[in-house]
Structure 1
Protein backbone atom coordinates (compact mmCIF):
# COMPACT_ATOMS: atom_id res chain seq x y z
CA UNK A 1 0.00 0.00 0.00
CA UNK A 2 1.27 3.46 -0.88
CA UNK A 3 1.95 5.65 2.12
CA UNK A 4 2.67 8.96 0.41
CA UNK A 5 1.37 12.22 1.83
CA UNK A 6 1.24 15.96 1.14
CA UNK A 7 2.53 18.82 3.29
CA UNK A 8 3.19 22.54 2.88
CA UNK A 9 4.60 25.52 4.70
CA UNK A 10 4.74 29.26 4.06
CA UNK A 11 7.61 31.66 4.66
CA UNK A 12 7.04 35.42 4.76
CA UNK A 13 10.09 36.67 2.86
CA UNK A 14 9.18 40.33 3.43
CA UNK A 15 9.46 39.97 7.20
CA UNK A 16 11.85 37.02 7.40
CA UNK A 17 9.56 34.70 9.36
CA UNK A 18 7.07 31.84 9.03
CA UNK A 19 3.63 32.97 7.84
CA UNK A 20 1.18 32.07 10.62
CA UNK A 21 -2.59 32.26 10.16
CA UNK A 22 -2.73 31.77 6.38
CA UNK A 23 -5.82 29.94 5.14
CA UNK A 24 -5.15 27.17 2.61
CA UNK A 25 -7.53 25.17 0.42
CA UNK A 26 -6.49 22.00 -1.41
CA UNK A 27 -8.32 20.81 -4.53
CA UNK A 28 -8.03 17.73 -6.70
CA UNK A 29 -8.30 18.57 -10.39
CA UNK A 30 -10.04 16.60 -13.11
CA UNK A 31 -9.76 18.72 -16.24
CA UNK A 32 -11.23 22.05 -15.18
CA UNK A 33 -13.30 20.49 -12.39
CA UNK A 34 -11.97 21.21 -8.89
CA UNK A 35 -12.99 19.07 -5.92
CA UNK A 36 -12.14 20.45 -2.51
CA UNK A 37 -10.19 17.95 -0.41
CA UNK A 38 -8.99 19.92 2.59
CA UNK A 39 -8.85 23.27 4.36
CA UNK A 40 -6.22 24.30 6.88
CA UNK A 41 -4.66 27.35 8.52
CA UNK A 42 -0.93 27.64 9.12
CA UNK A 43 0.37 27.53 12.67
CA UNK A 44 3.12 29.62 14.29
CA UNK A 45 5.76 27.73 12.30
CA UNK A 46 4.00 28.49 8.99
CA UNK A 47 2.96 24.84 8.66
CA UNK A 48 -0.32 22.99 8.90
CA UNK A 49 -0.83 20.90 12.04
CA UNK A 50 -1.36 17.76 9.97
CA UNK A 51 -0.61 16.73 6.38
CA UNK A 52 -3.10 18.07 3.84
CA UNK A 53 -3.34 14.51 2.50
CA UNK A 54 -2.61 11.90 5.15
CA UNK A 55 -0.26 8.95 4.77
CA UNK A 56 -1.81 6.30 2.59
CA UNK A 57 -4.45 8.60 1.06
CA UNK A 58 -2.28 10.23 -1.62
CA UNK A 59 -3.29 9.49 -5.21
CA UNK A 60 -1.56 10.29 -8.48
CA UNK A 61 -3.08 13.18 -10.38
CA UNK A 62 -3.35 16.94 -10.55
CA UNK A 63 -3.90 19.21 -7.56
CA UNK A 64 -4.15 22.88 -6.68
CA UNK A 65 -3.30 24.66 -3.46
CA UNK A 66 -4.76 28.11 -2.82
CA UNK A 67 -3.02 30.30 -0.27
CA UNK A 68 -4.94 33.38 1.03
CA UNK A 69 -1.78 35.47 1.22
CA UNK A 70 -3.46 38.86 0.72
CA UNK A 71 -5.40 38.59 3.98
CA UNK A 72 -2.21 37.52 5.76
CA UNK A 73 -0.26 40.61 4.66
CA UNK A 74 -3.24 42.88 5.38
CA UNK A 75 -3.15 41.50 8.93
CA UNK A 76 0.54 42.41 9.08
CA UNK A 77 -0.29 46.06 8.41
CA UNK A 78 0.43 46.11 4.68
CA UNK A 79 -2.33 48.61 3.87
CA UNK A 80 -2.96 48.45 0.13
CA UNK A 81 -6.17 49.72 -1.46
CA UNK A 82 -6.03 46.64 -3.68
CA UNK A 83 -3.55 43.88 -2.73
CA UNK A 84 -1.29 42.82 -5.58
CA UNK A 85 -1.55 39.17 -4.49
CA UNK A 86 -4.83 38.08 -2.95
CA UNK A 87 -4.79 34.33 -3.46
CA UNK A 88 -1.77 32.40 -4.71
CA UNK A 89 -2.77 29.25 -6.62
CA UNK A 90 -0.19 26.52 -7.19
CA UNK A 91 -1.10 23.69 -9.57
CA UNK A 92 1.08 20.62 -9.39
CA UNK A 93 1.09 16.95 -10.25
CA UNK A 94 1.71 13.83 -8.22
CA UNK A 95 3.09 10.83 -10.05
CA UNK A 96 4.22 8.64 -7.14
CA UNK A 97 1.56 7.88 -4.52
CA UNK A 98 4.21 6.36 -2.24
CA UNK A 99 6.26 9.58 -1.98
CA UNK A 100 6.16 12.56 0.35
CA UNK A 101 5.26 15.70 -1.59
CA UNK A 102 6.05 19.00 0.09
CA UNK A 103 4.93 22.23 -1.60
CA UNK A 104 6.37 25.29 0.16
CA UNK A 105 5.40 28.88 -0.60
CA UNK A 106 7.82 31.78 -0.14
CA UNK A 107 5.81 35.00 -0.34
CA UNK A 108 5.94 38.76 -0.04
CA UNK A 109 3.12 41.22 -0.80
CA UNK A 110 4.41 41.54 -4.37
CA UNK A 111 5.82 38.16 -5.38
CA UNK A 112 6.18 34.48 -4.55
CA UNK A 113 8.07 31.33 -5.44
CA UNK A 114 7.64 27.64 -4.84
CA UNK A 115 9.46 24.37 -5.43
CA UNK A 116 9.12 20.68 -4.64
CA UNK A 117 10.53 20.43 -1.18
CA UNK A 118 11.37 17.48 1.00
Structure 2
Protein backbone atom coordinates (compact mmCIF):
# COMPACT_ATOMS: atom_id res chain seq x y z
CA UNK A 1 0.00 0.00 0.00
CA UNK A 2 1.13 3.53 -0.68
CA UNK A 3 2.40 5.69 2.16
CA UNK A 4 -0.34 8.22 1.27
CA UNK A 5 -3.88 7.38 0.18
CA UNK A 6 -6.89 9.60 -0.37
CA UNK A 7 -10.64 9.45 -0.74
CA UNK A 8 -12.84 12.19 -2.25
CA UNK A 9 -16.54 12.41 -1.46
CA UNK A 10 -18.95 14.76 -3.23
CA UNK A 11 -21.10 15.85 -0.27
CA UNK A 12 -23.60 17.71 -2.45
CA UNK A 13 -24.38 14.52 -4.38
CA UNK A 14 -23.92 12.18 -1.42
CA UNK A 15 -21.55 9.87 -3.28
CA UNK A 16 -17.88 9.27 -4.11
CA UNK A 17 -16.20 11.70 -6.50
CA UNK A 18 -14.72 9.60 -9.28
CA UNK A 19 -12.40 10.92 -11.97
CA UNK A 20 -10.64 13.54 -9.80
CA UNK A 21 -6.99 13.95 -10.82
CA UNK A 22 -4.66 14.11 -7.81
CA UNK A 23 -0.98 15.02 -7.67
CA UNK A 24 1.34 14.32 -4.73
CA UNK A 25 4.11 16.94 -4.59
CA UNK A 26 7.12 17.76 -2.46
CA UNK A 27 9.06 20.99 -2.85
CA UNK A 28 7.47 21.74 -6.21
CA UNK A 29 8.36 18.31 -7.61
CA UNK A 30 5.76 15.74 -8.58
CA UNK A 31 6.13 12.55 -6.53
CA UNK A 32 3.08 10.72 -7.92
CA UNK A 33 -0.19 11.21 -9.77
CA UNK A 34 -3.46 9.33 -9.81
CA UNK A 35 -7.18 9.58 -10.49
CA UNK A 36 -9.95 8.66 -8.09
CA UNK A 37 -11.76 5.44 -8.92
CA UNK A 38 -15.51 4.72 -8.88
CA UNK A 39 -15.37 4.66 -5.06
CA UNK A 40 -13.59 8.06 -4.99
CA UNK A 41 -10.35 6.46 -3.79
CA UNK A 42 -6.71 6.33 -4.77
CA UNK A 43 -4.95 3.52 -2.94
CA UNK A 44 -1.77 3.43 -5.02
CA UNK A 45 -0.63 7.05 -4.92
CA UNK A 46 3.13 6.96 -4.88
CA UNK A 47 5.70 4.89 -3.06
CA UNK A 48 5.19 2.83 0.07
CA UNK A 49 7.65 5.07 1.93
CA UNK A 50 8.26 8.82 1.82
CA UNK A 51 11.10 10.80 3.31
CA UNK A 52 10.22 13.15 6.16
CA UNK A 53 9.09 16.57 4.99
CA UNK A 54 6.17 18.67 3.83
CA UNK A 55 4.06 17.32 1.01
CA UNK A 56 1.02 18.56 -0.89
CA UNK A 57 -1.93 16.80 -2.41
CA UNK A 58 -3.31 18.83 -5.31
CA UNK A 59 -6.88 17.88 -6.28
CA UNK A 60 -8.17 19.04 -9.69
CA UNK A 61 -11.73 19.83 -8.61
CA UNK A 62 -12.71 22.12 -11.47
CA UNK A 63 -15.27 19.70 -12.84
CA UNK A 64 -16.97 19.33 -9.43
CA UNK A 65 -16.73 22.75 -7.79
CA UNK A 66 -17.56 25.96 -9.66
CA UNK A 67 -15.77 28.04 -7.01
CA UNK A 68 -12.65 25.93 -6.25
CA UNK A 69 -10.88 24.81 -9.45
CA UNK A 70 -8.34 23.03 -7.28
CA UNK A 71 -7.83 22.14 -3.64
CA UNK A 72 -4.32 21.90 -2.21
CA UNK A 73 -3.78 20.14 1.10
CA UNK A 74 -0.34 20.45 2.73
CA UNK A 75 0.73 17.92 5.36
CA UNK A 76 3.88 16.78 7.12
CA UNK A 77 5.40 13.30 6.94
CA UNK A 78 7.43 12.50 10.06
CA UNK A 79 7.75 8.71 9.90
CA UNK A 80 6.67 5.71 7.87
CA UNK A 81 3.14 5.54 9.32
CA UNK A 82 0.48 5.24 6.60
CA UNK A 83 -1.34 8.55 5.97
CA UNK A 84 -4.88 8.77 4.67
CA UNK A 85 -6.00 12.26 3.61
CA UNK A 86 -9.71 12.39 2.70
CA UNK A 87 -11.39 15.34 0.99
CA UNK A 88 -15.09 16.17 1.42
CA UNK A 89 -16.07 18.40 -1.48
CA UNK A 90 -19.11 20.55 -2.19
CA UNK A 91 -19.70 23.29 -4.80
CA UNK A 92 -18.67 26.10 -2.43
CA UNK A 93 -16.62 24.43 0.27
CA UNK A 94 -14.38 21.56 1.28
CA UNK A 95 -13.12 19.84 4.40
CA UNK A 96 -10.16 17.57 4.99
CA UNK A 97 -8.74 15.69 7.95
CA UNK A 98 -6.24 12.97 8.79
CA UNK A 99 -8.08 9.73 8.24
CA UNK A 100 -7.22 6.22 9.25
Q: Same fold (TM over 0.5)?
A: yes
Q: Is the 8 A contact 2:88 2:95 kept in 1?
A: yes
Aligned to 2:41: 47
Q: State the alpha-carbon separation in 1 of the partners of residues 50 and 8 from structure 2.
A: 21
Question: Number of residues paired by the alignment?
Answer: 100
Q: Look up the SS of the partner of 1:89 in the other structure.
A: strand
1:25 lines up with 2:18 in the alignment = no
| Unaligned runs of at least 5 residues, structure 2 | none
Q: Shift of the alpha carbon at 1:20? A: 0.3
Q: Look up the SS of the partner of 2:39 in the other structure.
A: coil
CA RMSD of aligned residues (A): 1.7
Q: Is the 8 A contact 2:24 2:46 kept in 1?
A: no
- Higher helix proportion (structure 1 or 2): 1
Q: Shift of the alpha carbon at 1:4? A: 7.2
Aligned to 1:80: none
Q: State the alpha-carbon separation in 2 of the partners of residues 4 and 11 from structure 1.
A: 20
Q: Using structure 2 for the length normalisation, give the TM-score.
A: 0.91
Q: State the alpha-carbon separation in 1 of the partners of residues 9 and 2 from structure 2.
A: 24
Pick the structure with greater CA Rg: 1
State the 4+ residue runs in structure 1 displaced beyond 2 angstroms. Answer: none
Q: Is the 8 A contact 1:101 1:116 kept in 2?
A: yes
